[in-house]
Chains A and B, each alone.
Chain A
Amino acid sequence: MGQALIDLWYGFGVALEPQNLVWSFFGVIVGNLIGVLPGTGPLSAMAMLLPLTYTMHPVTAILMLSGIFYGSMYGGAIGAILLNLPCHSPHAVTCLDGYPLTRQGKGGTALGIAMISSFFAASFGIIVMIFASPLLVDIAYQLTPADIFSIMLFGLLAGATMAKGSAVKGVAMTTLGLFLGVVGTDINSGVQRFTFGMVELGDQISLVALALGLFGVAEFLRSVNRMDDVSSGIKVRLRDMRPSRAELKQSFFPMIRGTLIGTLFGAIPGTGPTITTFLAYALERRITKTPERFGHGALEGVASPEASSHAKTQVDFIPTMTIGIPGDPVMALLLGALIIQGIQPGPRLFAQHADIFWGLVASFWVGNVLLMILNVPMIGLWVKLLRVPYRYLFPSALFFIATGVYSTNNRLFEVEEALVFGVIGAIFAALEFPIAPIVLGFVLGPMVEENFRRALLLSRGDLGVFVERPLCAIVIGLSVLLLLGQILYHLRKSGEKKSEMLAPVSEP
């Protein structure tokens, strides 16, 4: 415990170095800006600015990326509350009560509550991270390839099945992502796999091209000429944003409950932030004495989901950094950024790059404080930004994507890669497949294969290795339960559907 505090002190030293602070600040602003813009969320914001980080020191790079991430999360809340635009799916729930509040003229208060809740939850998550990470590192050192494989399997399954929409489609997209991770040179045998003679594919598909294709190009293909220009005459003044004492009291316990739900779900790899916010909202509606207020501007419906998504994100960093297993696509992208920098997250990161880990932790706080300070005076500007016509937005964004992808490896071939993934992403999205699991699968793919092969090599082909050790057996058991649960749920749902169809229609 004492050691953690000393390390944290050191971390603040790293985060407050002028160069790191400036880039952190830059990341927060740009993230906020991109997060506010319609149709873009943290994933596209991070992917777009990832190429900027190559020339940076790894610590600075990761600080900037996490700044972008936070900034865009806050930005998403602004769009959700003021304009009913869920730019990023976790904020879809915030719209339910945030927008009615805006229509009642209390948009400022809702924003204020959202900010306070986010800040509180993030701080709580950071504290959990400080004390839980060292413990997890000790465990991480003892993990065998079989353990790592089973944890990844569980994370992938949870990510695929607990997202919105069809679970089977989610698993299919994860598998597709795993396969895309296979493309390139096999590290064990040196064989070129699925490169079709293209030299450029020899060292893997580019993560930046994949991410920008799936979240950038695909998004523009889907919304070109379909995005209505937003017009709103909402004015939010500074003093509107300060909630009254009664309002604070009203949202205090929802905020705590949201934070706890977020923390709990952060500990389960693969569960996305969207499901967390939906659960937080559902819980609030269940325990309140006046459920009829929900959907018509209940502050609790803003406080709890916003808190849960921020706590969840914060706690998500723990498995990403200590074991090297990202919990959701955003973390996967962050992990990819570290790998590009030549740093493999995992227990060794803790020992060898203490500056990265503790600098990151400290910068979370710095970033969150920056956001609070920034958001208040700049809210008017953000609202104006929301009204930038789409016809200026997407051509500029395409240009940033093209140059960004090119600069990764100075290869124009990768721009074409991004285009291909953009088309693939748009097609699958149109067919109602979730897209984000592809990235999770892609980043984990090589690690899954490596650990699977190593585990079975060590056991000489005995599949029993996956159930021999208690940890491994438990995780595999959980994965099986998750699958069975999904199948049962599905069978019951389709059974209900059938009986509904057979039942005579009596209700008007």
Chain B
Amino acid sequence: MQDLIRKYKDVIGGGLILLIGTGVVYKGSTYKFGQLGNMGPGFFPVALGALLLVLGFVILLQASRAAPVIDAPRLPAEWRGWICIVVGLLAFAFIGARFGLVPATVAVVAISAFGDRKARLKTVVILTAAMVFIAVVVFWWALKLQLPLLRWG
């Protein structure tokens, strides 16, 4: 899978642009199109979608002509880091809405910190505590962030 991505970056990229273009044209055509002299809300997005389609094709075409890149350094997938960052941010939004700023801060800092392979429990706890302090003093107290510090439900 990794090798495939490395060799066919442009194929995947072009395909992705084509996919986005198709989606934009499809959804855009549900809005009123209008004419050049009196454009509806659908005109501009459909035009952009069509342009994306053209560009996607060009990228695909170039990819099929270019030689595959082999000498690029191989980067292994970094699932641990990726998952921790994504889950950390999701947790901030989810927990922030229900339990307030302090639990949300703990969630985003602690979860994402464990995404690093060198993370140790002690340093993560210290880092989290430092960020909670900043959250309370700088954001909540000084900058009057609208999120309550703690709440239930």
Contacts and interface: CB of A to CB of B under 8 A. Distances in A.
Contacts of A494: 62, 65-66
A172 B62 CA distance: 14
A175 B55 contact: yes
B16 A431 contact: yes
Given A225-B116, A413-B93, A193 B31 contact: yes
B103 interface: no
Contacts of A193: 28, 31, 41, 45
A179 B48 contact: yes
Given A416-B93, A419-B90, A175 B41 contact: no
B38 A217 contact: no
A136 interface: no
Given A193-B41, A225-B78, A461-B36, A391 B119 contact: yes
B109 A406 contact: no
Contact of A395 (B44, B56, B58, B109): B109
B58 A168 contact: yes
Contacts, number: 196
Interface string A442-484: 0000000100110011011111000000000000000000000
Interface in B1-57: 5, 9-10, 12-13, 16-17, 20, 24, 27-28, 31-32, 35-41, 43-45, 48-49, 51-52, 55-56
Interface string A200-230: 0000000000000000010011001110000
| Category for how many chain B residues contact A | 35 or more
Given A391-B116, A392-B123, A175 B81 contact: no
A182 interface: yes
A497 B129 CA distance: 56
B52 A179 contact: yes
B62 A168 contact: yes
Interface in B73-108: 75, 78, 80-82, 84-86, 88-90, 92-93, 96-97, 101, 104-105, 108
A172 B116 contact: no
B48 A172 contact: no
Q: Which of B32, B36, B78, B119 has the most CB of A within 10 A?
A: B36
A224 B116 contact: yes
Contact of B41 (A188, A395, A410): A188
Interface in A384-400: 389-392, 394-396, 398-399
A503 interface: no
Majority-rule SS of B interface residues: helix
A221 B27 contact: no
Interface string A174-186: 0110110010001
Contacts of A398: 85, 88-89, 108-109, 112
A182 B31 CA distance: 13
Contacts of B44: 182, 449, 452-453
A402 interface: yes
| Category for how many chain A residues contact B | 35 or more
A373 interface: no
A168 B17 CA distance: 11
B122 interface: no
Nearest to A188: B41
B92 A221 contact: no
A179 B116 contact: no
Nearest to B40: A189
Interface string A217-260: 10011001110000000000000000000000000000000000
A179 B22 CA distance: 13
A389 B116 CA distance: 11
A169 B17 CA distance: 9
Interface string A151-180: 000000000000000101101100110110
24 contacts: A52-B143, A171-B55, A172-B55, A172-B59, A175-B51, A176-B52, A179-B52, A193-B31, A221-B82, A221-B86, A225-B78, A225-B80, A225-B116, A391-B113, A395-B112, A398-B112, A401-B89, A403-B101, A403-B139, A407-B145, A407-B146, A431-B10, A494-B65, A497-B66
Interface of A: 52, 55, 166, 168-169, 171-172, 175-176, 178-179, 182, 186, 188-189, 191, 193-194, 217, 220-221, 224-226, 389-392, 394-396, 398-399, 401-403, 406-407, 410, 412-413, 415-416, 418-419, 422-423, 427-428, 430-433, 449, 452-453, 456-457, 459-463, 494, 497, 501
8 A-B pairs with least C-beta separation: A461-B37, A224-B81, A461-B36, A391-B116, A395-B113, A431-B13, A186-B41, A172-B55
Given A401-B89, A403-B101, 19 more contacts: A169-B13, A172-B56, A186-B41, A191-B31, A194-B45, A217-B85, A224-B85, A391-B113, A391-B118, A392-B113, A394-B85, A395-B112, A396-B127, A398-B89, A399-B92, A406-B96, A413-B93, A433-B13, A497-B67
